[in-house]
Structure 1
Amino acid sequence: MIPPIASRFVAGEEPAEALDHVRQLNDRDVKAIVNLLGEHYDDREPAHADAVEYQELAEDIARSDLEACISVKPSQIGLDLGEDVFREELTEIVETAADHGVFVWIDMEDHTTTDATLDAFEDLAREHNGGVGVCVQANLKRTRDDVKRLADVPGKVRFVKGAYDEPDEIAYKGKETVNKEYEALLEYAFEHFEDGIAVGSHDPAMIDHAISLHEEHGTDFEIQMLMGVRDDAQYDLADEYEVWQYVPYGGRWKSYFYRRAMERKENLWFAVRAIIGR
């Protein structure tokens, strides 16, 4: 059982708990991106088990008639074991999800996974005429070229600032520089993309910039935020825009909760208050 201190950021340990959270979100006009926690497996068995659970999750979402999709990490389904393993497991997930009308996001991890992730996305997105999305990170110096490559690929692209500590030679480090890159990437996407843009940010300035670009170009977009971070803003934005909440669940919640609690000062204070009972 997940303790209350962590339940702000993680929906539960079982799929049913995650889907219950999704229902509550849907009642407030927020949609859900459901993620089974897990990453960097060096054994095929847990990678395959998680891939199977994703397929079952897609079936459950479709059967429950929920406004939800799924999101998968490449290292969770075998990329550390080889690109062939990753491709095999991902293909099974995408095909099952497509059969049930459920969208699949492919999360982006550190820079060593970028090529394999983008290649898999492009192949599957073209094969399924959309139905698949991928994440790109503004802090990587290569991302402008990657976004140009993806402009005519069916499917969606999620834009985030980037959370991994990458080497200086391949990544921008300054906050102001990363923000400018993020803005520039959004400007290009809103002008050139036709299949949808996901703004994965809690930064009000970036969300406002995206809204202005939407009003200028008319390009479809959605706003994506994490469970437990600026929840009130998510509900307010959902009154006018399409909002999706990233909803993690599963037994491997401790490391995820620790990252969420440490990455933003207000998250850490929430955790401290919960511990001391205030």
Structure 2
Amino acid sequence: MLPPIANRFVAGDSPAEALEHVRRLNERDVNGIVNLLGEHHDDRESVDADAAEYRRLVADIAGSRLAAAVSVKPSQLGLDLGEDVFRTTLAAVVDAAAERDVFVWIDMEDHTTTDATLDAFEALAREHEGGVGVCVQANLRRTRADLRRLADVPGKVRLVKGAYDPPADVAYTDPARVDREYRDLLEYAFDRYDGGIGVGSHDPAMIEHATALHERHGTEFEIQMLMGVREDAQYELAAEYEVWQYVPYGDRWLSYFYRRVVERRENLRFALRAVLTG
């Protein structure tokens, strides 16, 4: 059982708890992106176990008819053991999902994994004519070129500001500069992409900019936000736009919870209340 300090941001220990959370989201017109927590596996047994759970999760989603996708991390599926391990393991998950018409998102981790992640995404997206998406980070200096590269690749691209701390020679470190880059990259994507844009942001200004670009270009897009963060806004936005909530589950919650706490003062206040009252 998850401690009270974590259950705002994590749906539970089991896939059944995660899918029950998605069911409640669907009742409010929000879709779910389900993620088994875990990263940086350095042994094949852990990689294979998580990949097998994702394949079972895909089958459960297909059988439930929930509006849900799955999201995986490269280092969870073996990238730390080698790019060949990662691509083989990821392909098995994506193949199983494609057979059941379940979408797979590939999360982006630190900047050293970008090339391997994008190469795997492009190969699988072209093989399956979509059915898979990838995350790109606006704080990386390379992302403009990456968006140009991916413009004609079937599948989806999620744009986020970037949650890692890359060095200044590869990334913009000033928050205002990252905001400008995010806006510019949204403009490029809405202008050049046929659709499949994921706006991964809780920033009201960025969401407003995306909706204005949608009105201007007619490009299809979706808003993606995290479980436990601005959920009232998610429900309000879902009345007019396609909204997806990132729904993590599993007992490896500590590092994920820590990232959520340090991101926003509101999340820190929540954590302190949970400690004091739990």
Question: How does the TM-score come out when normalised to structure 2?
Answer: 0.99
Counterpart in 2 of 1:47? 47
Identity, in percent, stands at 72
2:18 is the alignment partner of 1:18:
yes
The number of residues matched between the two structures is: 278
> Quick one: which amino acid aligns to residue 171 of structure 1?
A
Deviation at 1:123, TM superposition (A): 0.4
Match of 2:202 in 1: 202
In the other structure, the counterpart of 2:66 is 66
SS in 1 for 2:199: strand
Where does 1:135-214 land on structure 2 (aligned, <5 Å)?
Answer: 135-214=135-214
Structure-2 residue corresponding to 1:276: 276
Structure 1 residue 273, shift from structure 2 partner: 1.4
How does 1:218-229 map onto structure 2 within 5 Å?
Answer: 218-229=218-229
What letter is aligned with 1:86?
Answer: F
Correspondence for 1:3: 3
Q: Deviations over 1:9-56 (max 9, x none)?
A: 000010000000000000000000000000001101101110110011
Contact 1:154 1:195 in 2 (8 A): no
Shift of 1:4: 1.9
Work out the CA distance in 1 between the residues paired with 2:262 and 2:180.
Answer: 25
**How far off is 1:195 after superposition?**
3.4
- Correspondences of 1:80-99 after superposition (within 5 Å): 80-99=80-99
**Further displaced range: 186-195 or 78-87:** 186-195
Tell me the distance in 2 between the aligned counterparts of 1:195 and 1:50: 31
Cα displacement string for residues 147-203 of structure 1 (whole angstroms, at most 9, x for unaligned residues):
000000000000000011101100000011000000010000000111310000000
Unaligned runs of 5+ in 1: none
60-69 vs 3-12, which deviates more? Answer: 3-12
SS in 1 for 2:168: coil
What runs of 5+ residues in structure 2 fail to find an aligned partner? none
Alignment deviations for residues 78-117 of structure 1 (CA, whole Å, 9 cap, x no partner): 0000000000000000000000000000000011100000
Instruction: Quote the Cα distance in structure 2 between the aligned partners of 1:136 and 1:255.
Output: 21
Q: Distance in 2 between matches of 1:255 and 1:174?
A: 24
Partner of residue 264, structure 1: 264
Is 1:36 aligned to residue 41 of structure 2? no
Give the AA of the match of 1:62. A
Question: With structure 1 as the length reference, what TM-score do the two structures score?
Answer: 0.99
> CA-atom RMSD, angstroms?
0.8
Distance 1:86 1:121 in 2: 11
Partner of 2:5: helix, strand, or coil?
Answer: helix
2: CA distance between counterparts of 1:201 and 1:144? 18
